[in-house]
């Protein structure tokens, strides 16, 4: 195992853009500019764009030219609402140069604009997901499609995916992947495209580097004690991660909506709290596995309960397994906050995924704030802390504590799959 990891790190570090001179090169860079937009198509959070800027600037300042490509949202075809034109001004502003725009990514206009690029110039291609070939999934398949037709459509779209990757590759002399957010997908622009570049001309961007290093620290360079805080709503979406973490962590704090599936499995009364009744056995088996592996599983002891799923509901604090019938647990209580914070502040490696309460409601955000603050305090004392996988990122930003933790991941699903121990196609495509 260790040899495999060493090989990975060695191979991986050779693939970074740091030592590559882009002078005279045309780089096609896959970024993850899938940012949220409001109803007027204004960006509401530009974190993902900012995260890719160092890579893009390095290429331009070396004297290379830049072809930027990304997806945005989940269009079902060409659809102006998902056009990357909405984000062009912000990209230009952050990059500090004029960025040309191709209103397509595969047609001749895109190829011509890419061919015309001079050193130091940049081009943004239109949304890759306007084409089904990007994801390699046929949009014509529905519940009425016969098995034979399904096979035929699948074969067609896979072949179109290769053509798309080849076409995109033809615009450039070097491929850079800085889209950690889509690294868990084997799409035309995230993985297949790498087949059309030789070993020395496919590289990871800075963001990808940082993300993979963060995962490395959590999975393979652990300072102990290692505490993972798993929150969020459902156990079902976190099973694989919890299983993998049980082989790594000293303390596993299980919180958020998941609490109640565990509490019910242990015989507690949970009222109308969120629960997955078909996962009660699984919860028990995870608890048993933890015991076998000597992992300290930490569950809430008290809850802040509400008589309605609303910020303005009546509330009270009760022991976690004593929730009255018409009430539901929406946050951890003060005793639990103290217990969680105590463990977190003693830790040297910390992973946080998922809020411990319905943090979107002000009145149920205190528990998540307490966890975030404890992580920040532990980090101040020298712990390594990684926050990632969706809502915990929103939490740490909301509480303005992102600057006091070691690393906030930009990858939701990708980070989770990496922590599950899976090899990500976007990474494999480059490291071979």
CB of 261 to ligand AMP, least distance (A): 11
Instruction: In whole angstroms, give the CA distance from residue 4 to residue 8.
Output: 6
CB of 358 to ligand AMP, least distance (A): 4
Of all residues in the shown chain, the one whose CB is closest to ligand AMP is 232
Nearer to ligand AMP, 233 or 296 (CB): 233
Nearer to ligand AMP, 323 or 427 (CB): 323
Instruction: In whole angstroms, give the CA distance from residue 400 to residue 395.
Output: 9
Instruction: In whole angstroms, give the CA distance from residue 303 to residue 367.
Output: 10
CB of 377 to ligand AMP, least distance (A): 22
329 catalytic per annotation = no
CB of 357 to ligand AMP, least distance (A): 5
Residue 336 falls in which region: left (phi positive, over 0), alpha (psi -120 to 50) or beta = alpha
Task: Name the residues that contact ligand AMP, by CB under 6 A.
Answer: 231-234, 237, 256-257, 274, 329-330, 354-355, 357-358, 360, 390-391
CB of 114 to ligand AMP, least distance (A): 38
Q: Which of 73, 120, 412, 413 is catalytic?
A: 413
Query: How large is the greatest C-alpha to C-alpha distance in the chain, in angstroms?
Result: 69
432 catalytic per annotation = no
Instruction: In whole angstroms, give the CA distance from residue 69 to residue 58.
Output: 17
Nearest to 125 by CA among 102, 97, 109, 106: 102
48 catalytic per annotation = yes
Enumerate residues 6+ apart whose C-beta is below 8 A from 28. Answer: 67, 69, 114, 168, 169, 171, 172, 174, 175, 176, 193
Nearer to ligand AMP, 197 or 262 (CB): 262
Nearest to 230 by CA among 216, 240, 219, 220: 240
Q: Which of 152, 158, 162, 234 is catalytic?
A: 234
63 catalytic per annotation = no
Nearer to ligand AMP, 62 or 308 (CB): 308
Nearer to ligand AMP, 64 or 232 (CB): 232
Q: Which of 15, 26, 30, 48 is catalytic?
A: 48
Known catalytic residues are 48, 234, 390, 413
């Amino acid at each position: 195992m260790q040899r495999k990891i060493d090989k990975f790190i060695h191979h991986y570090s050779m693939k970074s853009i740091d030592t590559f001179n882009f002078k005279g090169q045309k780089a096609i860079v896959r970024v993850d500019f899938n940012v949220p937009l409001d109803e007027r198509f204004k960006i509401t959070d530009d974190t993902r764009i900012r995260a890719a800027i160092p890579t893009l600037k390095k290429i331009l300042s070396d004297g290379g030219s830049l072809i930027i490509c990304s997806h945005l949202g989940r269009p079902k075809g060409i659809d102006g609402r998902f056009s990357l034109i909405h984000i062009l001004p912000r990209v230009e502003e952050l990059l500090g140069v004029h960025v040309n725009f191709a209103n397509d990514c595969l047609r001749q206009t895109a190829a011509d604009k890419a061919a015309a690029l001079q050193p130091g110039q940049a081009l943004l291609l239109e949304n890759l997901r306007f084409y089904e070939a990007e994801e390699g999934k046929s949009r014509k398949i529905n519940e009425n499609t016969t098995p034979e037709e399904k096979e035929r459509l699948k074969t067609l779209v896979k072949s179109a995916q290769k053509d798309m990757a080849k076409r995109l590759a033809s615009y450039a002399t070097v491929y850079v992947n800085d889209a950690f957010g889509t690294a868990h997908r084997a799409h035309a622009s995230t993985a297949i495209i790498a087949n059309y570049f030789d070993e020395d001309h496919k590289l990871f961007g800075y963001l990808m580097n940082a993300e993979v290093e963060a995962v490395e620290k959590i999975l393979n360079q652990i300072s102990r004690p290692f505490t993972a805080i798993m929150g969020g709503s459902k156990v079902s979406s976190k099973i694989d991660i919890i299983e993998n973490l049980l082989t790594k962590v000293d303390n596993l704090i299980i919180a958020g909506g998941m609490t109640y599936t565990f509490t019910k499995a242990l015989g507690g009364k949970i009222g109308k709290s969120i629960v997955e009744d078909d996962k009660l056995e699984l919860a028990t088996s995870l608890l048993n596995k933890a015991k076998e592996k000597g992992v300290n599983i930490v569950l809430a002891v008290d809850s802040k309960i509400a008589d309605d799923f609303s910020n303005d509901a009546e509330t009270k604090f009760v022991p976690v397994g004593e929730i009255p019938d018409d009430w539901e647990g929406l946050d951890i209580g003060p005793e639990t906050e103290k217990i969680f914070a105590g463990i977190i502040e003693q830790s040297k490696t910390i992973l946080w995924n998922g809020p411990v309460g319905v943090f979107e409601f002000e009145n149920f955000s205190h528990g998540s704030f307490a966890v975030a603050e404890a992580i920040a305090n532990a980090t101040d004392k020298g712990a390594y802390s990684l926050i990632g996988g969706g809502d915990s990122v929103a939490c740490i930003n909301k509480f303005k504590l992102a600057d006091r933790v070691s690393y906030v991941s930009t990858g939701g699903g990708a980070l989770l799959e990496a922590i599950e121990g899976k090899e990500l196609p976007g990474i494999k495509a480059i490291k071979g």
